[in-house]
Amino acid sequence: MNGVPVRLTPLTARLLARLVAAEGEAVTVRRLYRDVWQQTVRLPHQDLRNRNEVQKRILELRRAFDLAGPGHGARIVRTGQLPTARGAESTYRLALDDGELDSAEFVRLVGEALRAAPAPAVRLLAEALRLWCGRPLAEVQDEEFAAAPVRRLTQLRETALRELIAGHTALGRYDLALPVAEQTAGERPDDPEAAATLARLSARLRERHGAELLRHTLRGLRVDVVVVRGDLFDQDDANLVVGFSDTFDTFADDVVISRESVQGQLVDRLFEGRHRLLDHKLRQALKEFTPLATESVRDKRRGRRTRYPIGTAVAVPAGRRRVFAVAYSRLGNDLRARSAPADLRLSLERLWTSVALHGLFKPVAMPLIGAGLSRLVELDRTQLLLLIVETFTHSLRHDPAVCSELRIVLRADDLERTDLSAVDAFLRTVDERGPALGPTGVG
């Protein structure tokens, strides 16, 4: 009562269920006794005994309702008289206000939803279905008097589920419609319509997500972390991140830079094969940074010779977007690139600072930096991905507006060796406890 469970004796609980099944209609004492006590043998003066039994249970029921406040019992359990050929016969009925009976409130909410536009209908249906706590009138569900109301409520729930799916679909929220469809199909495994609805929703979600493998909206922020399968240079709506060595070389000659690397493809895909154009833009952006050293021609015979600190990150304009070039490896004079986990962490931390300053809050797409020729063998691909996500979420502590979306683009061979469930689990931890450090074990 008022949210507090009330214990009724079994017969009184059955009597209450019988009155609920009557849906507000008056029920005679004779009918109540027959249905609740299931009388099979009549004895002398049986009617008087029956009436006394019913009145005793009615009194118990009223006392239970009185726990909500004095007089509630008499207001809710009403006594009446029904004229018959043998004289007036006492009757009882439930007179409940709006919201006092879950089944009545359920019917009202679904009825309103069926007359409403999709957005309010979804709200009403969700509210109605939250009231559903299992099969209605469970204590008497097999009794004849309960069959009709149980059937109506069950059918109405099926309608509510179907309309909730339709409402979410009309609003384009296939992700919210899908679990409802899964529940419906699970409850009705032999229903071809439920199975077809589930299949259609699953297909629409696959079509909508396309190459998207994971999406997580960070709690309290307008920031998404997304993992997709595909080509970095096809991400036309996003700024790009490309890893470089500390000399920021641009000429893909398969000696200093591999033509197959992201760095090697950058010139062809975004600068029309003009590596000198990219080289010029990099020089302009690097003017605000102090070089670390300059190699001699004798020591470094090929490529650029000016070295910048690991972690140097610059924004290079490329049409309507920007390429963030970040130095995370050192190109030795033997022309082999080398990096370490600490180098990558430092580079990523400084990358996010540069993105916040120059990225105009656009989405940022990046490959799995460290998985290529930098020879960063201490971390597997899952750890590399976690390190990217970890440093990004940590940067949001200091600046929640680094970018609107971090999109990590995986190639097929990277995906096969990456555990995205670990990334999903880490992001859920971030939501629960705030940005955290350490899933890779890299300090």
pLDDT digits (tens, 9 = 90+) for 274-323: 888 999 999 999 999 999 998 888 888 888 889 999 999 999 999 899 99
How far, in Å, are 99, 127, 161, 199 from residue 122 at the CA level? 19, 9, 10, 21
Amino acid identity, position 354: S
Distance CA 428, CA 435 (A): 10
Pairing relationship of beta strands 321-331 and 313-318 according to DSSP bridges: antiparallel
Is residue 321 packed enough to be buried (19+ CB in 10 Å), middle (13-18) or exposed (0-12)? buried
Strand partners of residue 216: 225
Alpha carbons 248 and 260: distance in angstroms, whole number = 17
Q: What's the CA gap between 282 and 6, in Å, rounded?
A: 76
Instruction: Find the length of the chain.
Output: 443
* Amino acid in position 8: L
- Give dist(CA 93, CA 351) in Å, integer: 72
3-state secondary structure of 13: helix
The encoded tokens of residue 97 equal 């206000």
Q: Rounded to whole angstroms, how far apart are CA atoms 99 and 115?
A: 20
Percentage of the chain modeled with pLDDT above 70: 92
Give the whole-angstrom CA distance, residue 358 versus residue 277: 20
The interaxial angle of helices 10-21 and 46-65, nearest 10 deg, is 90
- Decide the pairing of beta strands 224-229 and 306-307: unpaired
Give residue 419's identity as a one-letter amino acid code: D
Neighbours of 115 (CB within 10 A): 9
What is the reported pLDDT for 4?
61
Eight-class DSSP state of 138 = G
What does the pLDDT look like over 33-59, one tens digit per residue?
888 887 655 665 677 788 888 888 888
Dihedral pair phi/psi, residue 418, rounded to 5°:
-125, 130
Q: Distance (Å, rounded) from C-alpha 15 to C-alpha 64?
A: 13
Contact 304, 330 (CB under 8 A): no
Residue 404 has which token pair? 């609107």
Mind spelling out the 3-state secondary structure of 348-378? HHHHHHHHHHHCCCCCEEECCCCCCCCCCCC
Residues of the chain with pLDDT under 50: 1, 436-438, 441, 443
For residues 337 and 256, what is the distance between their CA atoms, to the nearest angstrom? Answer: 9
In contact, 97 and 105? CB cutoff 8 Å: no
